[in-house]
Amino acid sequence: MNDATHHPVVSRTDWLAARQGHLVHEKEFTRMRDRLNEERRALPWVKVDTAYAFDTPDGRQMLGDLFGRNSQLFVYHFMLAPGQAEGCVGCSFLADQIEGAVLHLEHHDVSVVMVSRAPLDDIRRYQQRMGWDIRWVSSAGSPFNYDFGVSFTPEQVASGQVDYNYHTIQPWGEDAHGVSVFFKDNRGDIFHTYSSYARGAEDLLVANMMLDRTPKGRNEKTADGQPMDWVCRHDAYEDTPKAKAPCCG
C-alpha cells in the first residue's frame, strides 16, 4: 500500500492529540526499559574458570586478553562455521550497525569482539570483503561457543533438540547467534554477567529501530513469515556495483 487510502488522515490538531496519547505509552515503555536495564545489571555473576583460548590476528590469546585495557567485554557470537564461505546474513546486518559504536565503547571501558568457530583465515577473508574493523577472533578448538549456548554438536542437532535461548528448540543447524558479556576485576578474575539470544539482541539493529518509526514498519510480510528476508549482505544488493554474491544467499 503506497497511499493513504486506507489510513486515517486528520487535521494537525487531531494528529497532535493522537500523538500525545501515544507519547504516554512511549514514556511508559522508556521507564520500563530503564527498570529492565537496572534489573539486568543487578543479575548475579558466574566466575569463569575455564581457560578459553582463541586464534586472533595477534596470535593465540586467552579470554582475559580480549578485554585489552578495559574491564568489560561485549562478545557477539557471529554465525560463521568451519567450511562456510560467507557469514550469516543477519549477523552481517548486525555487524554493519555496531561497527560505528565500537570506537566509542572502547573509550568507555567496554571492549567489543566477534567470535566464530570458523578458522581465523576464513574469518579474515570474509571480514576483508565486508570492510569491518571490529575485532573478530576464532574459537576453533575451544568449547567457548558450546559453553555459551550458541553452538551444538552434530549429535545434538541429530537428536532434534538443543538448548538455546534458555529453552529447548528444534535446531536449524550447528550454530546460532547471541551476545555474551563479561567483567574482569583488578585481580584478573573473569565473570560471566549476561547472555541473550534470538531477539534478545534486536535492540542492536539500529535499522530495525528506525523502521519501527516509519509508516510501513519493518514490512516483513513474506510468504514464509520469516523476519528480515529483505536483508542482504551490504555488497549483495542488486544496485551495489561491487556485489560479489547472490542477494540474501
Average pLDDT over residues 152-160: 95
If asked whether residues 16 and 79 sit together in one domain, one would say no
Residue 178 resides in a domain: yes
Residue 192 resides in a domain: yes
What pLDDT is attached to residue 6? 81
Number of CB atoms found within 10 A of residue 93's CB: 18
If asked whether residues 22 and 124 sit together in one domain, one would say no
What pLDDT is attached to residue 4? 59
Average pLDDT over residues 171-196: 97
Find out whether 244 and 125 touch, Cβ atoms under 8 Å.
no
Residue 211 resides in a domain: no
What pLDDT is attached to residue 230? 82
What pLDDT is attached to residue 229? 81
Residue 19 resides in a domain: yes
Question: pLDDT class for 191, splitting at 50, 70, 90?
Answer: very high
Find out whether 176 and 150 touch, Cβ atoms under 8 Å.
yes
pLDDT score of 120 more than 60: yes
Percent of the chain with pLDDT over 90: 82
Question: pLDDT class for 216, splitting at 50, 70, 90?
Answer: confident
In degrees, rounded to 5, the angle at the alpha carbon of residue 210 between the alpha carbons of residues 204 and 211 is 110
Question: pLDDT class for 223, splitting at 50, 70, 90?
Answer: low
Domain of 121: which CATH number?
A: 3.40.30.10
If asked whether residues 23 and 102 sit together in one domain, one would say no
What pLDDT is attached to residue 245? 42
If asked whether residues 159 and 37 sit together in one domain, one would say no
The DSSP string of 191-218 is EEEEEEEGGGGGGG-HHHHHHTTSTTTT
pLDDT score of 161 more than 70: yes
At 39-62, the pLDDT tens digits run 999 999 999 999 999 999 999 999
Residue 160 resides in a domain: yes
What pLDDT is attached to residue 228? 80
If asked whether residues 84 and 173 sit together in one domain, one would say yes
Residue 187 resides in a domain: yes
Domain range enclosing 31: 12-41
Average pLDDT over residues 77-106: 95
What pLDDT is attached to residue 55? 98
What pLDDT is attached to residue 248? 43
What pLDDT is attached to residue 244? 44
Q: What is the number of domains present in the chain?
A: 2
